[in-house]
Amino acid sequence: MIDDLERQGLIRKLPVDRKKVEDALVHARRDLATAGTIIANDQDWAYTIAYNAVLQAGRALMFSKGYRPDGANQHVAVVKFAELFLDPSDTIIFDRMRRKRNSSVYETAGIITEREAEFALEQAEILVRKIEACISP
């Protein structure tokens, strides 16, 4: 529940700002396009950018409902917030992407295969569309 996320310090209430929503969606769409352009040359970075597209869409969802991530674990907060609106299978993919991206960025470079990057981009495109559908006009 949203109240639980607030109590845990993961999210904070804020006034709905349609510009923030649209800006985050613009970033999500841009990231999908960028990931598609570089996937053949840099799978790690394409994966990271595909994940960021979903993250930005998740932030847009939060903004549209009058919340923002708060505290030290903002990526986790976005995933947990998205769980309230998406199917469990979608949020499992989102969270797995978050974890794999974290490993790729902070631990071991070169761990993303071409197939993983392609799958991440495919799933990111689906998740961004599903999140856009959850955002009230």
Tokens of residue 37, six digits: 């352009």
pTM assigned to the model: 0.95
Domains of the chain, earliest start first? 2-134 (1.20.120.330)
| Each residue's pLDDT expressed in tens, for the chain with a length of 137 residues | 899 999 999 999 999 999 999 999 999 999 999 999 999 999 999 999 999 999 999 999 999 999 999 999 999 999 999 999 999 999 999 999 999 998 888 878 888 999 999 999 999 999 999 999 999 66
Residue 36 Cα distances to 19, 26, 61, 74, 114, angstroms: 26, 16, 23, 25, 12
Residue 37: count of CB within 10 angstroms of its CB: 11
